[in-house]
Amino acid sequence: MAGELVVGILYNLFLPLLLLAACLFRYNGLSLVYFLFVLTVPVLPNPSLVTMKGKRRKSKIQITLIVPLACQEGETSETESEEESDMEGSSSDSSEETTAPVQSGPPQFVQKLIMFAAGLKLLLSAIMNTAGKVVVTFLLGLAGIILPSLTSGVYFAVFLGLVWWWVFSRSIGMLIFSSLCVMLTIFSGGHLLVLYLYQLPLFQQLVPPEDAYARLFGMTGVIRTNSSEPYTLALHPFVSWPDFVNPLVLLLLYFTLVALLHKWVHITEEVCASVCQRKSKRIYCDDERSWQDLGSLLGGAGYTNCYSPSQYDSKDSLSEGTHQTDTGIRKCEESLKTPTEATSAPSGPSGLVIFGRMVQKHSYVSGLIIMMVWSITYNNWLTFALLVWSCMIWMMRDRRRYAMMSAPFLAAYGTVLVVLGFLSGLRLTREELYPGLPVFYSFNFWLMFRQQLKERKEAQSLRVESLDEVRVVPSNILLQNQPSPLVAMLISGVKGLLVKYWILFCCSMFFVISFSGKVVVYKILYIVLFLFCVVFYQTRYDVWRRLLKTFWAVVVGYSMVVLIAIYMYQFRSVSGLFRQIMGMSEEGLRDLGLERYHTVELFARILLPAVFLLACILQLHYFNSDFLTLTDLDSVPVRQQMEIGKSQETLDSVGLQSSSVKEADDLESRTGEGTISCWTFSSLLGRPCCLSGFGCLSSEQFWRLLELHSIKIVSSGIIWVSLQEVSLMNLLFLVLWVFALPFPRIRPTASSISAVWACVMVVCKMLYQLKVIKPLDYSFNCTAEVGVVVMELLNRSVLYSQPVDPVYWWGALRKCDGSILPCLQNHLMVLGLLVFEATVHRHQLYFRLHNSLKPPPFSIIFQGITRQHLDQGILPCIKYFINFLFYKFGLEVCRMVNVIGQRMDFYALLHSCALMAVLSRRRRKAIGEVWPKYCCFTAGLMVLQYVLCIGIPPAFCVDYPWRAAAQPLTSNVIKWFYLPDFAKRPNPSFIFYDHLLLLCSSLQWQVFEEENRAAVRLLAGDNVEISRSLDPCSFNQFIPVNNFLHCRCYLDMVKVFVFSYFFWLVLCLIFITGTTRISIFCLGYLVACFYFMLFGGSVLMQPVRYILRLWDWLIGYTCFVITMKNLLSLGSCAYLDSLVKNSCWLIQAFSMFCTIKDYDVPDPDEDCELPEGEAGIVWDAICFTVLLAQRRVFLSYYFLYVVSDLKSSKILASRSVFNFLKRCQPK
């Protein structure tokens, strides 16, 4: 078989390629002979090892005899190589026969090449067997449209005839189609020969390529031969890619026709033999054979010798002339069936068949889409009719009925357009239009027409049948019409994905169509519709669901109006009519979106609205109803626990048997080295439930995290946006969310108002981009009203550097050069955050209703973790702190944020004073009483600072008094006091630090309220401080925790470090804080450190009340240092230049240097060295943090065990010394 395959490859592939190369790279009379051999090779019968000595041998000798005429130098070598190849072929055959018993063969790569060639041969044979007529029809259409001419019109006419014959569900007999193929073979061969002859210089001189007759008949001169250098080939300058592709398509058509004729001759011979041998057997097959059944017939042994009819021969299209031939073919097919195949139950149709049936059944959808695509591809009045036609059908309720009624007219109209496109593509001018796409578009109309005829015939057959007739339908036919379980599951999954996420694609298309290119009115209306939908989704979910279908209908109608208006405006007569009717200038019409484009740009401009329209149509008519059912929170289906039997049945249906899983598990238990590989495959194939469970758990935890932190993300994002664009309109965002954080009851109202206001801001910004609005017409020039102005203000002040636009102060509105999206991204982000919050909330609500769960009583992630799990190990301890870390240590976190977020200005000083006032209460209960006032103080301070950032309107042309005074304040002083200024605007990012403090303070306020609930105390434990007079020596008192000093686990080791040795680590950090910098403040740290190091052992054994008094003094001193450094920052940042000249000792004593950016710091002075590396409060913040942590250690029950152990150790040590001294005394 390998020898036959090699001979076939050499003859059918390499020989034509070599001959084609010989005639393509040289154009003369001898190369014409080579081209004749190229056309002759496929006509001759296929060779074999036996027939190579017959006709094949003679033709091969003829080709060899021609070679010396073309190349005299290679005569001997050509003859010798041919003889050697023949001898090698014969010797290889003989050697193969004699050495058959020996287990040897060709190299591995040769075997792979042979296998690949055999598989390719089988694939091509199967394609020619099952779809030979389809391939020929396709090639005829391609040959007709690739280069329109009168010659290619023959192919195109045959193509249209075959397609229309197929549309009417008529078949073509084998004899008729064979005769047609013979004629087309002769015509295409002659066409190729004439094209090749035309490349010779003689014929191009007789009929030049520029001649009208040459272009009309498709005679394209590709090769240009220079008479002075005949061996040098050149191309004509006007050739294009169709000129090169056309001969290749014709050659492929020629070879395909010849190959198909060879196969049909072979079929005729086998049919005759079959009829003669089996006259007594009559076997009838199902006429409407599916692709799956045909493949099963051809899948047996020797299927390449049996050729099935093409799909053109269907049930309703069998002609009488070919009945005997088709019957014989069916007999041949039946004879190839094995007993197993004959008795086995038929399987369902394949996925390809189901897809084909679905495409044909819903061809009206693709047809309507093609009508719109055709109209935007070719802009003219003829295709405009298709656009209007499609839009009218889309808006009707019974779209399928009207589309099928229009199918005959659309098929005829499309054919007329294709023919007109073909005629316009004739090369009478150099600006031809190839009708390739119209043919593709028309095919959908033909498919619609065929489907309509099929449905009409089925309806007639149903009406003819009598009601009293009883028909028994075989079960195999019912099974054939049902898809396989895997295909049905795949279809269901794809549909579910489209129902869920197609609306997201439509929403993204809103952004694309609204923000691509320049801003015009129709795009603004698009974004208004989108924002309308988003606002209702965020605020009123039930109303949004009721209005969703109406919304998509309005969007579809509006998109149709926009598309038709843009399309019609491209015609010159219509554009002039628009200007006359509307009475607007060209610039005004451009603002509306009506503009004439060039041919290349027109397709891109119209394509986007058309694609958006199609996406919205699909959402409205095919996905919206299922989407509404899926998102109905009032009727959520409750999840049922799946039984084990059903699970096993599902696994069995997809081929995952439990026995294989057990075998894998047994193999895993027996083998030790293969554990990893066995676990990998068994877990991926045999344990999908475990993987699914892990994925569901991860998804559940992820959504829970989003639910817990959504308010933090939303509030931080909205306040950050308002700080990025400081204006009066954005003040509403900040006020709403500053007070929504400490007061949760107003959060829904804040979300709704923020969504509406963000939409208003987006629309205002887009309207401001229109060309009609010109800021220079209403801007103010303040330089004319001011006399003598400082040079600094002239260069930096908003009042004097340029004309003042009052709209920017109101809403930060400005002209966006280029793309509008960067100017809108902040407020679009606000909308996105609000939609994100609403989506997370509704997702969790749906999840709990679906799984019959109740909301957790507290903001936790891991369910079932309580205070009792804290002492059970490292992992339960980590889970507990993930759940309740802020519940336990939220107050300390608020104090740390307060310290770390200092800005070193006047308002930082106010925060430091507020911190000292809160810490002075000392007890947690007392702090909880004043905490609401502290939250309101922080919120009011944020609003005040934002108002100062806004300032007075610059359009008043009035400067601030600290700038207009006789002795104005410096920019550094204005910045430190955070005063409004036109020259140097206050930095709004400082307010974000206050927001972080307010966020933590609001959460802590919620903790103060939650810790009074009994359910929360049972779950997370209480936050009540221990009695400060509790004596650890008396163990008869109740201690609710276990003794950890025996180190029973790793968690006990961590506790020993925290409660026994963290105190000394804190003292080390205090010592580092005092020695890192040299200043008067560091002296206090050193004194405190030395005191506790000297008396630390005795201090720890004192009552908790005594320890806390000393420790609170140290914390108070740290707060005092931070406050004083904030106060001294006025001198270090605002008056540092004066202090350098007059009070250098003060700078050195208190390490004064400005560590905040944007201050004008004087240059270094040799007389007074600035302590640049010693300034700041970083080490003070670290010290303050560890002091707070150690204070919580002192207030813990665990610390009592440490104190008791210290006292016990001291007593034992004193007794040991007493006994030692007693023994040392003389008796």
Name the more confident of 223 and 253.
253
For helices 731-740 and 747-767, what crossing angle results, to 10°?
170
Q: How far apart are alpha carbons 240 and 258 in whole angstroms?
A: 29
In this prediction, residue 1140 has a pLDDT band, given cuts at 50, 70 and 90, of: confident
Q: What digits encode the pLDDT tens for the residues 1051-1067?
A: 888 888 888 889 999 99
Sign of the dihedral defined by the CA atoms of residues 560, 561, 564, 565, in that order: negative
Q: Is 1155 helix (H, G, I), strand (E, B) or coil?
A: coil
Q: Which of 928, 899, 987, 953 is nearest to 1184 (CA)?
A: 899
Q: How far apart are alpha carbons 916 and 895 in whole angstroms?
A: 10
Reply yes or no on whether the pLDDT at 945 is more than 90. yes
Q: Which of 261, 233, 158, 243 is nearest to 195 (CA)?
A: 243
Give the pLDDT mean for 950-972.
84
Q: Which of 1195, 1160, 1187, 1152 is nearest to 969 (CA)?
A: 1160
Q: How far apart are alpha carbons 1180 and 460 in whole angstroms?
A: 93
Instruction: Report the pLDDT value the prediction gives residue 52, as an integer from 0 to 100.
Output: 56
Give the pLDDT mean for 342-358.
54
Q: How far apart are alpha carbons 767 and 824 in whole angstroms?
A: 12
How far is CA 963 from its chain centroid?
53
Instruction: Report the pLDDT value the prediction gives residue 360, as an integer from 0 to 100.
Output: 65
Q: Which amino acid is located at 44 in the chain? A: L
Q: What digits encode the pLDDT tens for the residues 243-282?
A: 778 888 888 888 888 888 877 665 554 444 444 444 434 3
Instruction: Report the pLDDT value the prediction gives residue 422, as an integer from 0 to 100.
Output: 66
Out of 333-337, 1039-1043, 1068-1072, pick the least confident. 333-337
Q: What digits encode the pLDDT tens for the residues 59-108?
A: 544 554 444 444 443 333 333 334 443 433 434 443 344 344 444 556 66
In this prediction, residue 109 has a pLDDT band, given cuts at 50, 70 and 90, of: low
In this prediction, what percent of the chain has a pLDDT beyond 70? 70
Residue 148's Cβ-count burial label (10 Å; 0-12, 13-18, 19+) is buried
Instruction: Report the pLDDT value the prediction gives residue 333, as an integer from 0 to 100.
Output: 39
In this prediction, what percent of the chain has a pLDDT beyond 90? 17
Instruction: Report the pLDDT value the prediction gives residue 724, as an integer from 0 to 100.
Output: 92
Give the pLDDT mean for 650-658.
37
Q: Which of 807, 810, 798, 729 is nearest to 775 (CA)?
A: 807
Out of 40-44, 538-542, 925-929, pick the least confident. 40-44
Q: What digits encode the pLDDT tens for the residues 684-695?
A: 333 444 555 667
Instruction: Report the pLDDT value the prediction gives residue 272, as an integer from 0 to 100.
Output: 47
Mean pLDDT of the residues in the chain: 74
Q: What digits encode the pLDDT tens for the residues 560-579?
A: 898 888 888 888 777 777 78
Q: What is the token pair recorded at 272?
A: 């005759």
Which three-class secondary structure string do you get for 1051-1104?
HHHHHHHHHHHHHHHHHHHHHHHHHHCCCHHHHHHHHHHHHHHHHHHHHHCCCH
Name the more confident of 342 and 932.
932
Q: What is the token pair recorded at 777?
A: 């017409």
Instruction: Report the pLDDT value the prediction gives residue 406, as an integer from 0 to 100.
Output: 73
Q: What is the token pair recorded at 363?
A: 């061809």
Report CA-CA distances (Å) from 1068 to 1073, 1074, 1178, 1201. Answer: 9, 10, 16, 23
Predicted model pTM? 0.70
In this prediction, residue 791 has a pLDDT band, given cuts at 50, 70 and 90, of: low
Give the pLDDT mean for 766-772.
88
Q: What digits encode the pLDDT tens for the residues 685-731?
A: 334 445 556 677 788 889 999 999 999 999 999 999 999 999 999 99
In this prediction, residue 44 has a pLDDT band, given cuts at 50, 70 and 90, of: confident
Name the more confident of 400 and 976.
976
CB distance 1084 to 1117 below 8 Å = yes
Instruction: Report the pLDDT value the prediction gives residue 686, as an integer from 0 to 100.
Output: 39
Q: What digits encode the pLDDT tens for the residues 111-140?
A: 666 676 676 666 666 666 666 777 888 888
